[in-house]
Amino acid sequence: MSEANQKNIPAGKLVRVTFLPEGKTVEFEFGTLPYEHHGKPMSFLDVAENFNIFLDHACGGVCACTTCHLWIKDQEGISEADDDELDRMDMAADQQLNSRLGCQAVITRPGEYVVEIPKWNRNYVSEGKPLTLAVEK
């Protein structure tokens, strides 16, 4: 999204998402984000995909793994977790009270959101792509 488009977003429709630890913030108008078919529409995975932010999602965003596990700083304005997500989260590493799957946690209204990609997940990322690990001979 261009800088010019960001300035034209009405204040009452602005969605601002900050991804930590990078501190990368993206903005868009609520209800206008193109659906990239990764996770639910307007999920944090969908936002990440639209703005080229790497958030691992080994299952393609269908709630069949926990690689898109996030910590959401404030749950207000986010959809409630359904039974499928809660069952899947039982298998997530380092689960906390604010843990959600990025493919299932949907932004339900304009506002500011802060999510953190857990350290164990972001350690697999280098310059937006999974690391290729060298095998010692």
For the chain, how far is it from start to end, CA to CA, in angstroms? 45
List, in sequence order, every residue forming a beta bridge with 19; answer none if it has no partner: 24, 115
CATH 2.40.50.100 fits 3-121, yes or no: no
Confidence (pTM): 0.82
For residue 42, the tally of other CB atoms under 10 A from its CB is: 21
- Three-class secondary structure of residue 12 per DSSP: helix
For residue 81, the tally of other CB atoms under 10 A from its CB is: 17
Beta-strand (E) ranges in 21-64?
A: 24-29
Name the region of 50 (left: φ>0; alpha: ψ -120 to 50; beta: rest). alpha
Please give the Cα distance from 62 to 109 (Å, whole number).
Answer: 22
Quick: pLDDT tens for 75-129: 899 999 999 999 999 999 889 999 999 999 999 999 999 999 987 665 444 444 4
The full set of domain ranges for the chain reads 3-121
What does residue 55 show for φ and ψ, rounded to 5 degrees?
-135, 110
Quick: pLDDT tens for 37-84: 889 999 999 999 999 999 999 999 999 999 999 999 998 999 999 999
Tokens found for residue 134: 């060298």
